[in-house]
Amino acid sequence: MSLKYLGNYADWIKPEWLREVLDTPGPQIPKDYRVHEEMVQKAILGNFDEDNWEEEHKDWQQMSYEYENNVFFVMFDAPDVSFNLLEDRPPFLEFDGPFAWWITKLEPGKFTPMHRDSYSVTKPTYKYWMAWTDWEPGQVLMTEDDAIIKYKAGDVYKFEDPFILHGAANAGQLTRVALQITTWRPNRGIV
Amino acid sequence: MNFIGNYATWIEQEWIDEILSNDGWTVPRDLSKDPQVQLNEDERKWFSSGYKMSDHFFSAFYKDDCSFEITPPWSPQSWDWWIVKMMPGQFIPVHGDLAMATRKNAKSYWMPWQDWKDGHIFMYEDQTVINYKKGDVYEYDASIKHCAINIGSVPRIVLQVRSYE
C-alpha cells in the first residue's frame, strides 16, 4: 500500500491552531488560487514565479472538472495563519532539513480531485499527511491503491510514493482538516 | 457487504451509452418536483450541514427514464431499481435508506457498470469498496449509513436494486 501509518501525534497539535483554521474562511481553491499563490510566493520567496504558475494552472485545467470560480476546498499556507509550523517542527519528520507545509479544510461536500504532485524530483522526497480532526463517515483520503478511513486526529501517514495519484473527499456532515508536509515544493522554495 | 457474484456479461453496452448520453434526474435539485418524495431524517441532516437542495449530487435514472428493461440476473423476488450516474466531483452524502429497515426481508444490491477507476469509492459503515470489477454484485444493508464519491476523472455508473418479500 502507498500510505504507511507512522503513529499518532495528537499531543503536538495545538488546539488554537485547529480553532483558527476552523474559524477562518481561508482561500478557496481553485477560485482564489491565482491570487492566493501570488500572495504566498511573494511572502515566502519575495517574488511570484509566473511561468511555474502557468504550468501548474494547466495541470488543474486538464482535470475533467469545472475549474473557473469553482470551490473544491480551502487551503491555508503559512502567510494565511498566525502560527508557523517551521517554529514548531512536527515530531514525526524523518529528516532534518527544510519542509513545506499547508493545511486543507474540506467542509461537507468538498473534495480534492485525484492528482499527482510534481514529477520533477532529483533527490529523496518525503511527503506526510496528518489528520487534525477525527474521521467521521463520508470522509476519505484516497490513493490509486488505498483508501484511508477511521483515522483519529493526530494520525500521521507517510506517502511511500510521494508522487502517487491521490485525493480526498468529505461526503460527511462535519468539517475535515488535515496537514500536508513535503520536501518537494518548488513554489515554496523547497527543492 | 456480501459479494454475490459477477454478472458483467449481462450488462449491455448500449445501456451504458444511454446513461452516459442522458441527464436523468438531478438529485437533490429535482426532488422538489415530485411531491411524493419525502426526505428521511438522515437526508434532512444534509441541509443543516451545508449541502443545498439546489446541489447536483448525482443523476438518477428510474425505470421510466430508460428505454431498456432491467431484470437482475441474480433473481431477487420483487424489486425496484435505479441507476446512479456520478460525474467527476459528484457524490452522495452519508445517509441510510431508513425505509429499508421497515420492509420485510428487504435486500439491497449494488452493481458497478464499469471496472473501478481511480477516485471512485463506495463507503458502507466503516468499510470502503474499491478495486471492484464491472458486473460485481454486492448485497448490503442500505439502512446502515453509506455514501459514494467520484473524485476521479471519468463518470461512475452503478445499478441499485432493492428486493422485498
pLDDT tens-digit readout, A7-20: 999 999 999 999 99
| pLDDT (0 to 100) of residue A165 | 92
Cβ pairs bridging A and B (under 8 Å): 90
Query: Which residue in chain A is spatially nearest to B49 when comparing CA positions?
Result: A173
**SS3 per residue for chain A:** CCEEEEEECHHHCCHHHHHHHHHCCCCEEECCHHHHHHHHHHHHCCCCCHHHHHHHHHHHHCCCCCCCCCEEEEEECHHHCCCCCCCCCCCCCCCCCCCEEEEEEECCCCEEEEECCCCCCCCCCCEEEEECCCCCCCEEEEECCCEECCCCCCEEEEECCCCCCEEEEECCCCCEEEEEEECCEHHHCEC
Going by C-alpha positions, the residue among A139, A76, A144 that lies closest to residue A116 is A144
Output the furthest CA–CA distance in chain B (Å, rounded): 43
| pLDDT (0 to 100) of residue B76 | 66
| pLDDT (0 to 100) of residue A120 | 63
This prediction's pTM: 0.93
pLDDT confidence tier of residue A186, bands split at 50, 70 and 90: confident
In this structure, is the dihedral angle defined by the CA atoms of residues A121, A169, A12 and A101, taken in order, positive or negative? positive
Query: Which residue in chain A is spatially nearest to B155 when comparing CA positions?
Result: A64
Predicted confidence (pLDDT) per residue in A68-83, tens digit: 788 999 999 999 999 9
The CB-based long-range contact list for A18-25 (8 Å cut-off, 24+ gap) reads: A18/A132, A18/A133, A18/A177, A20/A81, A20/A82, A20/A83, A21/A76, A21/A81, A21/A103, A21/A105, A21/A132, A21/A177, A22/A105, A22/A175, A22/A177, A24/A76, A24/A80, A24/A81, A25/A74
Q: Is residue B133 within 8 Å of residue B6, measured between CB atoms?
A: yes
pLDDT confidence tier of residue B91, bands split at 50, 70 and 90: very high
User: B71 φ, ψ to 5°?
Assistant: -125, 100
User: Are B94 and A172 in contact (CB < 8 Å)?
Assistant: yes
Q: Which residue has the higher pLDDT, A64 or B128?
A: B128
| pLDDT (0 to 100) of residue A91 | 96
User: Is the model's pLDDT at A121 over the cut of 70?
Assistant: no
Q: Which residue has the higher pLDDT, B128 or B164?
A: B128
Among A102-111, B28-37, B134-143, the least confident range? B28-37
Among A123-127, B61-65, B143-147, the least confident range? A123-127
User: Is the model's pLDDT at A63 over the cut of 90?
Assistant: no
pLDDT confidence tier of residue B101, bands split at 50, 70 and 90: low
- Chain A nearest C-alpha distance from B22 (Å): 18
User: Are B128 and A147 in contact (CB < 8 Å)?
Assistant: yes
| pLDDT (0 to 100) of residue A133 | 98
| pLDDT (0 to 100) of residue B19 | 97
Q: What is the mean pLDDT of chain B?
A: 90
User: Are B50 and A169 in contact (CB < 8 Å)?
Assistant: no
To the nearest whole percent, how much of chain A has pLDDT over 90? 65
Q: Please report the residues numbered 141 through 180 in chain A whose beta carbons come closer than 8 angstroms to any beta carbon of chain B.
A: 142, 144, 147, 149-150, 165, 167-169, 171-174
Query: Which residue in chain A is spatially nearest to B46 when comparing CA positions?
Result: A173
pLDDT confidence tier of residue A119, bands split at 50, 70 and 90: low
| pLDDT (0 to 100) of residue A79 | 92
User: A101 φ, ψ to 5°?
Assistant: -140, 150
- Chain A nearest C-alpha distance from B152 (Å): 6
Asked if B130 has any chain A CB less than 8 Å from its own CB, the reply is yes
Helix or strand (DSSP H, E) at B45: helix B41-48
| pLDDT (0 to 100) of residue B42 | 80
pLDDT confidence tier of residue B156, bands split at 50, 70 and 90: very high
Q: Is residue B134 within 8 Å of residue B113, measured between CB atoms?
A: yes
End-to-end CA gap in chain A: 26
